Structure 1
Amino acid sequence: MGFSYNDLKKILFMFSPETAHKIAEYFINGAEFVPGLYDKISKECVINDPILEQTIFDKPYINPVGIGGGFDKNATMIEGLKALGFGFLEYGTFTPMPQKGNEKPRLFRLIEEESIQNAMGFNNDGADKIEGRLIKAYPNTIPLWANIGKNKITINETAIHDYIKLVNQFNKFCDAFVINISSPNTPNLRALQEVGFVSELFDALSKLSKKPLILKIAPDLNYDDAIKISTTAVNNGASGIIISNTSVDYSLSKSPNLKNFGGLSGKVIAEKSRQIFKVVADELYGKTTLIACGGIDSPEEVYKRIKMGASLVQIYTGFIFQGPTICRDINLGLKALLRLDGFSHISQAIGIDVKK
């Protein structure tokens, strides 16, 4: 009898979530030191098929599935995650100065709901250390996105300077910037999700950035605000919108392990993320690149978001619950769904369900 990921998951889930993440990081990176292992993993997990290939932001994406921000905060797992078949990777969120993040425990499993609650607080090694890693990792054979945020001690009135510093420093080390003003775990950060600041921020960054700028929004915005903020970002230089970050709508979960702080991700936010994605897509599809995130863990869910207007998708919590073959499994399933509907290329399916 083979040893499955479900067996491994039972062992990993005996540890605290942060410790389990460190163990996973160790194994993902450790494969580098076994000659030929990355190649073997790639042959198993990387799906190469023209039906899934796209050119976005003037870069080739071999498939639409990326790892979302927060999984590889410090850009330590790039080669291992690439071998697991992702079409693009997002490192961060990181900040100009290193910071420890919030007090532990700050990461919780809602196992029966295949969801996570996190209150990490942008814990990261800081821009300088992460730049040192990207000097070796960039450019890469797949696109790398830098997810950037402000330090906790930076007040909102001067927050723009943190984003300016990071764009200037990482212009040479990414294929796109993800602007994170929607995490619920840095005090007052979500207050920056307003038209005035978004306009000022993207106007300033678009003059400095040599790479596309992408805004990531929260699923808890009311629909009018989501449309206004996203439209403002696009009108001031954003090339894409990620919908969405984690949710603080705790009514979504019935888990006994639910806390009254931190952001929810995974299956519990799938419907909420899907709904706000639809609202934004109905307004902005065709005017910008839309990226879906939140509760995505299957080919069927990916296909729904693609038909709703997503050119790319991101996963995080599904990776934790389904394991290292999730990207392969999604891409194989997505190919089958596209062909079942008579499509010869993913572009033919993107946006077919958008309100005309």
Structure 2
Amino acid sequence: MYSVIKKCLFRMEPERAHQWAVNALQAAQQTPVLLWALERKQAVRDPRLAVQSGQLHFPNPVGMAAGFDKNATIYPALAALGFGFVEVGTLTPKPQPGNSRPRLYRLEEDDAVINRMGFNNKGIIQAAHSFSTLHRPSVPIGINLGKNKKTPQEEAAGDYRTGLRALYRHGDYFVINISSPNTQGLRDLQHADSLQFLLSDILEEREELRRETGEVRPIFVKLAPDLNADMMTETVQIGVKLGIDGFIAVNTTRSRKDLVSPHRTEEGGLSGRPLSSSSTEAIRLIYRVTEGQIPIIGVGGIFDGKDAYQKIRAGASLVQIYTGLIYQGPSIVRSINQKLLSLLERDGLDSIQEAVGLDA
């Protein structure tokens, strides 16, 4: 069925097609019985797929990456598609339109997408309202935070602290996005001195919120694939030393190696199949640096269960998809989870957690 829908969607301008999908999922959310039927059809319920990370329970390791549900308006419908967790955002303190259009390109010949969206979103106040009104699904919800484009670099920590405080009671975990290539200067925050100050400030805010609420929300840092091994190692070591709870590997890349699509020269971040190997290598490096003691969410180039299993064996406790969903459709979630079960049986493993880091 998706092959027919895909033909229609791929005739549309990509951002318009994305909005059509968002509208369709919002419409589905208006009918609880439809969400129930969708989840019943899509979800793969098997205890071997469950992941326990700290206080968070994930029914399966396959999550929706940030960028699809930018404004936290469709996470109940995404959860009903069978995802084990959903990450919303990127959200900034103030609403912003993002970069000028067109800013999203399909590279069909490469199973890839280039975007230069620029954190377009309606801001944290609108997101908080959405969280207060929508049905809460049973899977964990992550909130991806960014800084506003007009916020000076030296004041970036304030934006992340503002987002964390405003949405703290709504997120099961939070992501500090300092790796998008589409906000000028954002990736400079990954450099040692800037990173030390930024993360210290954010974790100080988290400690204040812990004292006020009695709740500790895990904080992940999302890393760029374009860091060399030494820089990524240093970034990870700083994060671990300060008390960061985990890492997401990786964001989109500026690399254009071996692409054939006519859109390959467009500015922005590349996602999809070409990112697969660099993502897996980053996961493996982080796992080794942290000696497997820090959870890693692997993302980049996952199109099937074998791709997901490769990242898990490299060291990822959980994985996320986005571009794969665009090209394969909603059935990809169920397909990946079913394949993971067959691979566990092949390898004689009793749970997906036993596979984490086996190839690292």
Supply the distance in 1 between the matched residues of 2:120 and 2:35 (Cα, whole angstroms): 28
Once the two structures are TM-superposed, the CA of residue 293 in structure 1 deviates from its matched residue by 0.6
Summarize deviations over 1:323-355 as a string: whole Å, max 9, x none. Answer: 01111110011011001111111111111112x
Supply the distance in 2 between the matched residues of 1:218 and 1:124 (Cα, whole angstroms): 21
Once the two structures are TM-superposed, the CA of residue 276 in structure 1 deviates from its matched residue by 2.1
Summarize deviations over 1:209-251 as a string: whole Å, max 9, x none. Answer: 2311100000000111011101111211210000000000122
Supply the distance in 1 between the matched residues of 2:249 and 2:321 (Cα, whole angstroms): 12
Aligned residue pairs total 351
Taking the TM superposition and a 5 Å limit, the aligned residue runs for 1:244-323 are 244-323=250-329
Structure 1 unaligned blocks of 5 or more: none
SS at match of 2:66: strand
Once the two structures are TM-superposed, the CA of residue 35 in structure 1 deviates from its matched residue by 5.4
Taking the TM superposition and a 5 Å limit, the aligned residue runs for 1:209-228 are 209=206, 210-228=216-234
Decide whether the 8 Å contact of 2:287 with 2:294 is kept in 1: no
Decide whether the 8 Å contact of 2:188 with 2:194 is kept in 1: no
Supply the distance in 1 between the matched residues of 2:258 and 2:223 (Cα, whole angstroms): 18
Summarize deviations over 1:69-96 as a string: whole Å, max 9, x none. Answer: 1111001111110110000010000100
TM-score (norm 1): 0.96
Decide whether the 8 Å contact of 1:108 with 1:257 is kept in 2: yes
Supply the distance in 2 between the matched residues of 1:261 and 1:57 (Cα, whole angstroms): 39
Which of 164, 177, 180 is equivalent to 2:177?
A: 180
Match of 1:238 in 2: 244
Match of 1:41 in 2: 38
Summarize deviations over 1:177-234 as a string: whole Å, max 9, x none. Answer: 1000000000111111111222222222222223111000000001110111011112
Match of 2:187 in 1: 190
Taking the TM superposition and a 5 Å limit, the aligned residue runs for 1:1-356 are 4-34=1-31, 36-137=33-134, 140-209=137-206, 210-354=216-360
SS at match of 2:263: coil
Runs of 4+ aligned residues of structure 1 deviating over 6 Å after TM superposition are none
Decide whether the 8 Å contact of 1:306 with 1:351 is kept in 2: yes
SS at match of 2:171: coil
Summarize deviations over 1:146-173 as a string: whole Å, max 9, x none. Answer: 1000000001111111011111111111
Identity %: 40
Instruction: Return 271-280 or 318-327, whichever deviates more.
Output: 271-280
AA of the residue aligned to 1:292: G
Decide whether the 8 Å contact of 1:252 with 1:269 is kept in 2: no
SS at match of 1:168: helix
SS at match of 2:243: coil
Instruction: Return 254-263 or 227-236, whichever deviates more.
Output: 254-263
Summarize deviations over 1:128-162 as a string: whole Å, max 9, x none. Answer: 00110011347541111110000000011111110
TM-score (norm 2): 0.95
Supply the distance in 1 between the matched residues of 2:76 and 2:137 (Cα, whole angstroms): 9
Summarize deviations over 1:33-77 as a string: whole Å, max 9, x none. Answer: 345211111111011100001211301100000011111100111
Decide whether the 8 Å contact of 1:285 with 1:351 is kept in 2: no
Supply the distance in 2 between the matched residues of 1:258 and 1:175 (Cα, whole angstroms): 36
Decide whether the 8 Å contact of 1:139 with 1:174 is kept in 2: no
Supply the distance in 2 between the matched residues of 1:33 and 1:276 (Cα, whole angstroms): 40
AA of the residue aligned to 2:92: T
AA of the residue aligned to 2:337: N
Supply the distance in 1 between the matched residues of 2:263 and 2:336 (Cα, whole angstroms): 29
Supply the distance in 1 between the matched residues of 2:237 and 2:89 (Cα, whole angstroms): 25
Decide whether the 8 Å contact of 2:272 with 2:300 is kept in 1: yes
Supply the distance in 2 between the matched residues of 1:208 and 1:137 (Cα, whole angstroms): 27
